[in-house]
Amino acid sequence: MLSPYGLDIIESCLTCKTRSERLFCDLPGAALQTFESIKYATAYPKGAVLFVEGQAPRGIFVLCKGRVKMSICATDGKTLIVKIAEPGEVLGLSATVSGKPYELTAETVDPCQVNFVKRDDFLRFLKEHSDACFKVAEQLSEKYNNACHEVRSLGLSHSAGEKLAKLLLEWSSKNGEASKQEPRLKLALTHEEIAQMIGTSRETVTRLFADLKKRQIIQTKGSTLVIRNKPALKSIAANN
């Protein structure tokens, strides 16, 4: 079935081809059957808000396709993007488990398919299936690891240049590019969104990119960024 947003909707977790590659989704038989019965598969366009920081938790959102921007916002409107969630991640997990308000705002950056599970159903599911409980624990551990990484980056990086260099190196280490001498990455975010990830302004990010290009540390070809001088970028990231 095709959704209005051009997505090829995965109707059933039981027949999902990517299930075994994803931490939470790779549930054993009985747990998977139960999960299938309590989930609601939904498609969202780009720019849809799944939940807002401070909102009472309604349930979890398992991201099947697309990416979601997770952010926090100050009262003056300043936004910090904490993470870009990828398929396989469970969003709103800690809030749903604890009953506390959602800690972050989740907004789609692509058309997305999401499996929503109501809070009561999810908590009952965890009580009945300890395997699922372990999967949830693993997801929460990963999120905690990411949050500690963010704390380190925000609290210990001196400059925006350092943070941008670290971010580019982090992105370039995915998708098998880590070992390459000149790794490539797809710049899927605007300069404004990158600024929101590292806690600076759009103008600073634009200036930093121009500087990196001028020094031939990076090169851009459309939306593809090539790191031409990885040691130099690492040196900036280490504040040398």
| Contact flag: residue 46 with another protein (CB under 8 A) | no
Residues 6 or more apart whose CB falls under 8 angstroms from that of 20 comprise 26
Q: Using CB under 8 A as the criterion, what x/- string covers residues 154-173 for binding another protein?
A: xxxx----------------
Strands, sheet with 224-227, edge to edge from the N-terminal-most edge strand = 184-186, 224-227, 218-221
Say if CB 167 and CB 227 are below 8 A apart.
Answer: no
User: 5 vs 125, which CB is nearer to another protein?
Assistant: 125
| Contact flag: residue 49 with another protein (CB under 8 A) | no
| Contact flag: residue 60 with another protein (CB under 8 A) | no
| Contact flag: residue 18 with another protein (CB under 8 A) | no
Rounded Cα distance between 154 and 206, Å, is 20
> Where do we find the tokens 């952010």?
71
Among 30, 52, 148, 210, binds another protein (CB under 8 A): 148
- Least spacing, CB of residue 206 vs another protein, in Å: 20
Closest CA to 5 of 62, 49, 46, 48: 46
Rounded Cα distance between 63 and 7, Å, is 13
Q: Using CB under 8 A as the criterion, what x/- string covers residues 166-205 for binding another protein?
A: ---------------------------------x------
Work out the end-to-end distance of the chain between its first and last CA atoms, rounded to an integer number of angstroms: 53
Number of residues that bind another protein (CB under 8 A): 43
Binding residues for another protein, rule: CB under 8 A, are 72-75, 78, 80, 82, 93-95, 97-98, 100, 103-104, 126-127, 130, 133-134, 136-138, 140-145, 147-152, 154-157, 199, 237-239
